[in-house]
Structure 1
């Protein structure tokens, strides 16, 4: 199993390293890329209700692409494994990832299906609802994973979510486990997972809804998150991190557990906050940080993201997070 040894910091503006350099700094993300169609409203609509909305905008999104961009901006060398449609949204999404210096050699194009989209409503208090149409994301296959096995073998971490087919995610995790590459799974959108999968997961990052489903216990506080984390670790996950929004994070490992409060900010849009946390945590972790320090970094990055609108557009850079942390320390 690869270790998370300290390595030279890699700027988000550095070109991706070749797979044969076998760098623990490199992250491979297997997941979705969507175009987000966002409308703002005073509040979220009730069931069956029609609301008059405000500003409409499109943003590059998708949990996989969001996490890839976050990891890249926050200091890691990143490769993206996914599938786009041969349409204008697909071209824009690919160009956006390449602009972040993310390796798109394994970002495939499907000829007969549109790129994925997400329809998002954002309320005045920053809360949101999201409906995803997977499109080409559903065309990502285990064969695509096999074609990227050399990159997975060379990576310091593999990141997966559940916006691409579960069979493909399971295969990617199995390949990484056999190659000795640590796996971070963000099981979103929430769905039941095979019990055998947990033993192959190095880090399980999930929110209250996902933790409640997978651990079969209500989760709405650090105390209940502790119960859920214990149940998920008993299934085999080595480290469990439950994100609780404004209530912070509960984490549990073989050696320690604890609650880290969230930085206090005025949120205007929580879209991609969880993805920013995942990317920031992963980038810091493969850089050699402890679990606790990586969580703290991820939280600070996520806190900055919710003060901005959009998905990828809201994700801060490594320098911005460090500057914010230094400013907060100076005020103490």
Structure 2
């Protein structure tokens, strides 16, 4: 039972509860893409066609079904490096097989799932279909993930986890459909002296919803992102610089409501490095862990796993150097396989790579 002093479920994640489908039957996928007329348009708004495509590829016997969603991916990684019962995720799924898979895998990873299940929408799905030219064809339907409501969050059974958590990680992607929930969470974090962490999400999200990020940014305690997202934020802010070190420093030094915690900005740069800056002007670059080209399989979830590793150490009071290293280790592991899977991380950390 949770109490005001409980250390259980100290890290709360809120985001889109999705499942990723990885499809490698190139010939059949390309037939389906043609059947549903999903190309050459880069973005297709006909959800009947998208859902038809997703339903068919989900039934392929070789389709890999892996939990996705930024917050879910990060908490699963964090829990690998935290004591039992440290993480809990809040979100919305459908009453279907995909939802059952999400709950089962996250629970197996040690993450407590406080999902709301609904009848009218399916569990959110993203498909990553490998084409004959080795590119991915991606389509998604967030489904039930977009239907989470404030009334449900504020119910005693859910809100007790918000009140208990000392660290809250909110997926940037929910700014679109669930901004009302984001507002409730960042105000709670400020009023109760909790750490509020989030991410920039994507270049498209930054470009389209910068005005909402500007409303939230004074509440940021930790802001994560990649280089492209940070540079897009700088451009939208008219900072007149493409120097990623300067941009990271500016992110950390944006106006902030609370003075109880020095804001940190952490920007990943793919195969190059990670840049850390804080509100006091500290800035440092960390090289990534090298990986051989033939060991790099799939980058899906690498940034999310980095966040999970970072937060796992930060929560335990470790140094920034240790936080970054833990993030790099998890990301290095994730890019060696398809999808965000953590099943064999313990043996990998101890036996596979000499750090």
How high is the TM-score relative to the length of structure 1?
A: 0.80
Q: 1:101 is matched with which residue?
A: 110
Counterparts of 1:295 and 1:23, CA distance in 2: 23
Q: 1:310 is matched with which residue?
A: 339
| Residue 302 (structure 2) pairs with residue 273 (structure 1) | yes
Q: Relative CO higher for 1 or 2, CA cutoff 8 Å, sep ≥ 6?
A: 1
Displacement after TM superposition at 1:122 (Å): 5.1
Unaligned runs of 5+ in 1: 1-16
Counterparts of 1:84 and 1:31, CA distance in 2: 11
RMSD: 3.1
Matching residue within 183, 201, 206 for 2:196: 183
Q: 1:57 is matched with which residue?
A: 64
Whether the 8 Å contact between 1:86 and 1:114 is mirrored in structure 2 is yes
Unaligned runs of 5+ in 2: 31-38, 43-56, 257-262
Q: How does 1:75-224 map to 2 (within 5 A)?
A: 75-76=82-83, 77-104=86-113, 106-121=114-129, 130-147=138-155, 148-164=158-174, 165-189=178-202, 190-191=205-206, 192=210, 193-216=212-235, 224=243
| Residue 314 (structure 2) pairs with residue 289 (structure 1) | no
- SS of residue matched to 2:173: coil
Task: Give runs of ≥4 in structure 1 deviating > 6 Å.
Answer: 123-127
Displacement after TM superposition at 1:96 (Å): 1.5
- SS of residue matched to 1:98: helix
Displacement after TM superposition at 1:315 (Å): 6.6
Length, aligned pairs only = 300
Assess, with a 3 A threshold, how the Cα gap between structure 1 residues 73 and 30 changes in structure 2: closer, same or farther. same
Counterparts of 2:250 and 2:139, CA distance in 1: 29
| Residue 286 (structure 2) pairs with residue 260 (structure 1) | yes
Q: Rg larger in 1 or in 2?
A: 2
